[in-house]
Chains A and B, each alone.
Chain A
Amino acid sequence: MSDLHHASHSEWDSVAAQAIIARHLVLEGPMLPILHALQEHFGFVPAESVALIADALNLSRAEVLGTITFYHEFRSTTPPARVVKLCRAEACRAQGCEDVVAALDRSHGIHPDRPTADLAIETVYCLGNCALGPSAMVGEELFGRVDAARLAEICGLETV
């Protein structure tokens, strides 16, 4: 099941979480580095880690949770099997990203507003590839000149 999709991510493990937190305590302002490391390990920032971070940084749980929820990037639940970031900011709009979004909805019934457990197209604002848009990113791989067919391919969808 989800293990298939998240082979690289781990089940909750408080010892591992504590080790991750402890590793960052030498840093000034270690909160964001801790959250990034936890998310890299678990695929998201597990709710169980909130109290551990609060304890280690001498903060209230509300402060930790408030920080996690402020940033678009941090997840509180298991991510979909495939996450495709699609830029929908001005420069990509000028190059027709909204037409690409509409076309994918028509051909596959998939839209950024309707993520599933298998696939989420996440709207992001700017991937820094504004002369070669529309742009998308999967993991750390950046794609330029993305049209509807290319987006479907990036999303792992069959061509209709």
Chain B
Amino acid sequence: MMGVVTPTRIYVPCDAAALSVGADAVARAIAAEASARNLHVEIIRNGSRGALWLEPMVEIGHAGNRIAYGPVAAKDVPGLFDANFIKGGAHPLALGPVEDLDWLKRQQRLTFERVGVTDPLSMDDYRSHGGLAGLRAALALSSQQIVQAVKDSGLRGRGGAGFPTGIKWQTVHDAVGARKYIVCNADEGDSGTFADRMLMEGDPFTLIEGMVIAGIAVGASRGYIYLRSEYPHAFRTLQRAIRIAEAEGVIGASVLGSAQAFHLEVRLGAGAYICGEETSLLESLEGKRGIVRAKPPLPALEGLFGKPTIVNNVLSLAAVPYILAHGGAAYANYGMGRSRGTLPVQLGGNIKRGGLIELAFGISLREIIEDFGGGTRSGRPIRAVQVGGPLGAYLTAAQLDTAMDYEALAAIKAMLGHGGIVVFDDSIDMAKMAKFAFEFCVAESCGKCTPCRIGSTRGVETVQKIIDGKAREKNLAVLADLCTLMTDASLCAMGGLTPLPVMSALTHFPEDFGLALPRVAAE
């Protein structure tokens, strides 16, 4: 005498980070165990909540709540069933209701609002969690009003350069051209960053919606997502999401029944870090070597195939639906100074509790690393922190009270970049990291400009000489000169910013280069 039983919903993330620690095996074990016990369950593969140290984090839909368990290994699954976890039963891995997790409670999730909550490929889920509200609002506005909303939001490019997004959009809006393009830079190559990936895998429709809105704002009917080939999971998710969005009339010949058309394709890169630089990316999309272009002309005026083009980072475009749905002022309400809105911070490296933390600009590095992150995973003291990817500066433990803000970081000769934070403990050799910064530049330079192409190789040699103690004073002078030259004369940020990690390592950690400690530190 069994009635119709609503299946218990069990959420197991499909995010690549969760998969890397066994989420698929956990999902399989849950399915097998439920079947063996004759229990009716529905397994939903959601995105990740971003508490990556708890992955695979399994959630149970129970009595209107989502109860979390983690980190779950496949071998834990029978025990979880024994503990009746599908009714929220007690178990050593139980974390309580997800909403009550301190990690999530303290965040301000605007862009990542739905990531981890919904089924990434369910348009119904997307709609019922506020999706498409921004696009609907945009369709009721003039193109200039859309651009104005983005300007009002204060949104700055999240890829690293921090250029005001609304001004870029205005330029493309005003440019004359029968054909314009929206290009999403999803070549997230910076070590220590994974927010783009998580967004694309966990809520791809938000990115698609942002791109459609951009298209309507500037009069572009075609968009490309340039995705790095190291992200096969994101590639598959995006391809499926685009097909679903087409079938649902969100993109295609008529956007939500309007006269606007928007066609979208995802294209794969091929393992070149430099293709994250916007002009190199455009060359690559056109089918050429990813060689950096000289600017001007700006891509906004002569971009893809010489046409006016918006090139925006994933996070910039994904912030747009919120801005249009709630208004520019609502977004600008968050943040400090000239850094408005929220920043999805990515905390990685040697860290106890790493993952994605979306917060208004202005929180200090220390709060993120210590309060959210809990210090190093190794338990040893923090020695260095690199902010903003491989071209970002190394900071010392004493500098962690700096706020996460474009200007505050620039004031200490550092940069925010794409919001990645990599923590190192006291076992790190900073001279090796300085040399690695040059080695990375050797491997990834496009080769167009001499300071970057040649300077990187000379840099590797010079740092090695300093480490070896060969004519140290002279080689320090050579290194300083080389870094000045690369900073001033490189065509793009690759050669122009490589000196940042190098010189910050040398300045803050001279003892690793065989030099005397700076007097301040020695006192």
Query: Which A positions have Cβ atoms within 8 angstroms of B?
Result: 27-33, 35-36, 57, 63, 66-67, 70-74, 85, 87, 89-95, 124-133, 135, 137, 140-145
Residue with the highest number of chain A CB atoms closer than 10 Å, among B21, B188, B347:
B21
Provide 10 A-B residue pairs closer than 8 Å at the C-beta atoms, listed in order of the A residue: A32-B284, A32-B285, A71-B270, A73-B269, A74-B270, A90-B436, A94-B423, A125-B443, A126-B190, A142-B17
Given A91-B348, A142-B20, A132 contacting B55 (CB threshold 8 A): yes
Q: Residue B287 at the A interface, CB < 8 A?
A: yes
Q: How far is the CB of A65 from chain B (nearest CB, A)?
A: 10
Collect the chain A residues with CB atoms within 8 Å of residue B272's CB: 70-73
Collect the chain A residues with CB atoms within 8 Å of residue B508's CB: none
Expressed in whole angstroms, the Cα–Cα distance for A58 and B422 within the complex equals 46
Given A90-B386, A128-B197, A144-B20, A70 contacting B271 (CB threshold 8 A): no
Given A130-B354, A132-B52, A35 contacting B348 (CB threshold 8 A): no
Comparing B86-94, B161-169, B224-232, the segment that makes contact with chain A is B224-232
Given A72-B272, A131-B348, A132-B17, A67 contacting B288 (CB threshold 8 A): yes
**What 0/1 pattern do residues 274 to 304 of B give for CB contact below 8 A with A?**
0000000000111111110000000000000
Q: Residue B62 at the A interface, CB < 8 A?
A: no
B interface residues, how many (CB within 8 angstroms): 61
Instruction: Give the top 9 A-B pairs by smallest Cβ distance, nearest first.
Output: A131-B354, A31-B287, A130-B348, A144-B20, A89-B191, A94-B349, A71-B270, A73-B271, A72-B271
Q: How far is the CB of B374 from chain A (nearest CB, A)?
A: 12
Expressed in whole angstroms, the Cα–Cα distance for A57 and B188 within the complex equals 29
| Minimal Cβ-Cβ distance residue in B for A53 | B287
Expressed in whole angstroms, the Cα–Cα distance for A143 and B22 within the complex equals 8
Are B193 and A130 neighbours in the complex by a CB distance under 8 Å? yes
Q: Residue B97 at the A interface, CB < 8 A?
A: no
Q: Residue B444 at the A interface, CB < 8 A?
A: yes
Expressed in whole angstroms, the Cα–Cα distance for A91 and B390 within the complex equals 9
Collect the chain A residues with CB atoms within 8 Å of residue B192's CB: 89-91, 126, 130
Collect the chain A residues with CB atoms within 8 Å of residue B267's CB: 29, 32-33
Residue with the highest number of chain B CB atoms closer than 10 Å, among A72, A92, A129:
A129
Q: How far is the CB of B393 from chain A (nearest CB, A)?
A: 12
Expressed in whole angstroms, the Cα–Cα distance for A127 and B440 within the complex equals 15
Collect the chain A residues with CB atoms within 8 Å of residue B355's CB: 131
Collect the chain A residues with CB atoms within 8 Å of residue B16's CB: 128-129, 142
Collect the chain B residues with CB atoms within 8 Å of residue A93's CB: 428, 433, 436
Contact partner of A131 (CB less than 8 A), chosen from B232, B288, B305, B347, is B347
Expressed in whole angstroms, the Cα–Cα distance for A125 and B232 within the complex equals 15
Are B229 and A73 neighbours in the complex by a CB distance under 8 Å? yes
Expressed in whole angstroms, the Cα–Cα distance for A48 and B270 within the complex equals 20
Are B346 and A130 neighbours in the complex by a CB distance under 8 Å? yes
Expressed in whole angstroms, the Cα–Cα distance for A143 and B191 within the complex equals 16
Which residues, 294 to 351 on B, are CB-close (under 8 Å) to A? 305, 346-351
Q: Residue B194 at the A interface, CB < 8 A?
A: yes
Collect the chain B residues with CB atoms within 8 Å of residue A71's CB: 269-272, 290
Given A94-B423, A133-B348, A144-B21, A89 contacting B440 (CB threshold 8 A): yes
Collect the chain A residues with CB atoms within 8 Å of residue B289's CB: 66-67, 70
Are B271 and A128 neighbours in the complex by a CB distance under 8 Å? no
| Minimal Cβ-Cβ distance residue in A for B21 | A144
Are B193 and A32 neighbours in the complex by a CB distance under 8 Å? no
| Minimal Cβ-Cβ distance residue in B for A146 | B20
Are B422 and A130 neighbours in the complex by a CB distance under 8 Å? yes
Collect the chain B residues with CB atoms within 8 Å of residue A27's CB: 265
Are A126 and B17 neighbours in the complex by a CB distance under 8 Å? no
Collect the chain B residues with CB atoms within 8 Å of residue A33's CB: 267-268
Collect the chain B residues with CB atoms within 8 Å of residue A70's CB: 272, 289-291, 446
**What 0/1 pattern do residues 237 to 272 of B give for CB contact below 8 A with A?**
000000000000000000000000000010111111
Expressed in whole angstroms, the Cα–Cα distance for A125 and B228 within the complex equals 12
Expressed in whole angstroms, the Cα–Cα distance for A33 and B285 within the complex equals 10
Collect the chain A residues with CB atoms within 8 Å of residue B350's CB: 94-95
Are B230 and A130 neighbours in the complex by a CB distance under 8 Å? no
Q: How far is the CB of A113 from chain B (nearest CB, A)?
A: 13
Are A91 and B20 neighbours in the complex by a CB distance under 8 Å? no
Contact partner of B286 (CB less than 8 A), chosen from A29, A94, A95, A130, is A29
Q: Residue B233 at the A interface, CB < 8 A?
A: yes
Collect the chain A residues with CB atoms within 8 Å of residue B305's CB: 28-29
Expressed in whole angstroms, the Cα–Cα distance for A84 and B482 within the complex equals 36
Collect the chain A residues with CB atoms within 8 Å of residue B465's CB: none
Collect the chain A residues with CB atoms within 8 Å of residue B21's CB: 132, 144-145
| Minimal Cβ-Cβ distance residue in A for B347 | A131
Are B271 and A124 neighbours in the complex by a CB distance under 8 Å? yes
Q: Residue B503 at the A interface, CB < 8 A?
A: no
Expressed in whole angstroms, the Cα–Cα distance for A140 and B55 within the complex equals 19
Given A91-B348, A128-B16, A132-B354, A32 contacting B268 (CB threshold 8 A): yes
Q: How far is the CB of B119 from chain A (nearest CB, A)?
A: 21
Q: Residue B53 at the A interface, CB < 8 A?
A: yes
Given A71-B290, A128-B194, A130-B348, A90 contacting B433 (CB threshold 8 A): yes
Expressed in whole angstroms, the Cα–Cα distance for A79 and B52 within the complex equals 33
Given A67-B287, A71-B271, A130-B348, A140 contacting B233 (CB threshold 8 A): yes
Q: How far is the CB of A23 from chain B (nearest CB, A)?
A: 15
| Minimal Cβ-Cβ distance residue in B for A145 | B21
Q: Residue B11 at the A interface, CB < 8 A?
A: no
Contact partner of A95 (CB less than 8 A), chosen from B55, B284, B377, is B377
Are A30 and B287 neighbours in the complex by a CB distance under 8 Å? yes
Q: Residue B513 at the A interface, CB < 8 A?
A: no
Expressed in whole angstroms, the Cα–Cα distance for A133 and B354 within the complex equals 10
Are B20 and A135 neighbours in the complex by a CB distance under 8 Å? yes
Contact partner of A94 (CB less than 8 A), chosen from B55, B270, B273, B428, is B428
Collect the chain B residues with CB atoms within 8 Å of residue A87's CB: 191
Q: Residue B420 at the A interface, CB < 8 A?
A: yes
Collect the chain B residues with CB atoms within 8 Å of residue A85's CB: 230
Contacts beyond the supplied A126-B189, A130-B420: 10 A-B pairs with Cβ under 8 Å: A29-B267, A31-B288, A32-B287, A90-B386, A128-B188, A129-B20, A131-B53, A133-B349, A141-B19, A144-B20
Expressed in whole angstroms, the Cα–Cα distance for A125 and B349 within the complex equals 14
